[in-house]
Amino acid sequence: MESSWEKIIFQRRREKEYGYPMDTKWYDNKSIDPFYIAKWKSYTPFYKLFLQTKGSFMKRLRSSMNTIQQKKEKAWIEESRFSMKSHHSIINLYVYRPWKEEKNLPCILYLHGGAYVGGGIAMSENVCRAISKQAHAVVCYVEYRLAPQAQFPLALEDCYAAIDWIMQKAKQLKIQKDAFYICGESAGGNLALGCCIKDIEKQQKRIKGCILFYPHLDMKEKIQDIYQISLPKNKIVKKWIRKDMLMLYGSLQITKKLYLQHQEDLENPLISPYYYKNLAKLPPIFMIQAQFDALQKQGERFAQKVYEAGGNIRRIQYKGVLHAFLDHIGYLPQVYDAIEEIAFFIQSRKGDEKNE
């Protein structure tokens, strides 16, 4: 029986819908994208970057996150920078807007990844610009505080405070308050869903849609998930991919201890959104995942839970790419395809926001 809530995207060209609710782009479901092979000498996987960097654990981890190749996004986008208060701290908020666009536009709050301890504007600027251009929307990027200096729930509170600030400044920012979306990448996906949950529990319901890139949803992640993912037959590539996934899993075991202050309940929905009980109340979710990703299986399980609970969710999985493939903007065509899908998601929601 066919359904339209989920689709697996392979690579490069489109294919028909089939079987278990998927509609696809075809390539080879057990191959890695040619980008990673073509860039083999110049591209260094995450686990090698981490091991090659000198210094403390935090320095090595953050440095390995900030050396991923990108090409400059040349979109005609205006950029503004603001400062806002959040729990006795001042944090930065960057605003990206289509060039010389005067009318009110939909707004997307973008939350970067980085395992709660890393990431920053340098890694996300190109993506924010591309989303603003393609979706014809205002994209706001919040520089939330990082662990271990700022532990749970401070990052989440910073992100939620950014929503309050944006809503208060809606006229100045020229945004449509009834077309407000949140987008999170990896750890940012966890924070994005946390904001949705807080918004529901406070009966605000300001968030009209949630976009998730390979989100971290369950702090009780299982190492067995990695071994359930089918890998390429090439022994070198297979070994490399598995090491990359194991390093991501291992780093999360450490960084979540830095992120959490005490032995918090890992099934607290604000820590692990996977365990939220009122899934049907969540705003429409658009989830984008990678095939060779330690977080892939927990994303699948969460999407299935939301779907079975009667929630509104659409899931896409790109074949042949690794976790954080969004960082390779300018190299991977899947990145621009995913951004086009985001634009379609927002455009398809027009008119529905006011009825909710």
pLDDT in tens, 171-218: 999 999 999 999 999 999 999 999 999 999 999 999 999 999 999 999
Place of tokens 């604000």: 270
Q: What Å distances lie between residue 327 and 59, 70, 124, 147, 312, CA to CA?
A: 19, 7, 8, 21, 27
3 state SS of 99: coil
Structural domains of the chain sorted by starting position, each given as residue range(s) with its CATH number in brackets: 48-347 (3.40.50.1820)
User: CA-CA distance, 168 to 199, in Å (whole number)?
Assistant: 15
Report the side by side order of strands in the sheet with 313-322: 13-18, 22-26, 6-9, 313-322, 285-292, 209-213, 175-185, 105-111, 138-142, 89-98, 77-86
Residue 186, sorted as left (phi over 0), alpha (psi -120 to 50) or beta, turns out to be left
Q: Answer whether 0.85 is exceeded by the pTM.
A: yes
User: CA-CA distance, 159 to 258, in Å (whole number)?
Assistant: 19
Both structure tokens of 77: 């986008």
pLDDT in tens, 266-277: 999 999 999 999
Give the side-chain half-sphere CA count within 13 A for 207.
Answer: 31
User: CA-CA distance, 321 to 291, in Å (whole number)?
Assistant: 6
pLDDT in tens, 92-120: 999 999 998 889 999 999 999 999 999 99
Q: Integer distance in angstroms from the first to the last C-alpha of the chain?
A: 30
Q: Is the peptide bond before 21 cis (omega within 30 degrees of 0)?
A: no
Give yes or no for a contact between 293 and 214, defined as CB atoms under 8 angstroms apart. Answer: yes
User: CA-CA distance, 268 to 261, in Å (whole number)?
Assistant: 14
Residue 55, sorted as left (phi over 0), alpha (psi -120 to 50) or beta, turns out to be left
Both structure tokens of 215: 């989100």
Q: What is the DSSP string of 267-327?
A: T-TTT-GGG-S-GGGSPPEEEEEEEE-TTHHHHHHHHHHHHHTT--EEEEEEEEEETTGGG
pLDDT in tens, 327-353: 888 888 889 899 999 999 999 988 776
pLDDT in tens, 125-167: 999 999 999 999 999 999 999 999 999 999 999 999 999 999 9
